[in-house]
Amino acid sequence: MTTMSTAAATYWEPLWSQGRHYRQLDDAENRLLEGHLRPGRDRRALDIGCGDGSLTRRLAQLGYRTTGIDSPSAVALAAAVEEIPAEGCG
């Protein structure tokens, strides 16, 4: 039986190993986040299926205390070791 996690890993891992990374949030998405979310003020935010963590980092920049989780796949492991600025992340 194929689980959703297995299906996602089967899809993403070959793409990641070929150099395809997640795209960053664009200006329109950032404006939507800023317009619809109140300032974080150190409130908690959980990003399930965070991939490389771009949304998790953006929420942290908006003042949220963030946690991003994803399946333990090559995608998640590669994102963890990639040098990513930690500004706003805690």
- CA–CA gap between residue 9 and residue 6 (Å, rounded): 5
Highest mean pLDDT out of 6-20, 48-62, 67-81? 48-62
DSSP 28-62: HHHHHHHHHS---TT-EEEEET-TTSHHHHHHHHT
CB count in 10 Å sphere of residue 13: 15
Residues 6+ apart with CB under 8 A from 3: none
| SS3 call for 72 | coil
Measured in whole angstroms, how far is the alpha carbon of residue 40 from the centre of its chain? 17
Q: What is the pTM of this model?
A: 0.63
Digit-coded pLDDT (tens) for 14-34: 877 787 777 788 999 999 999
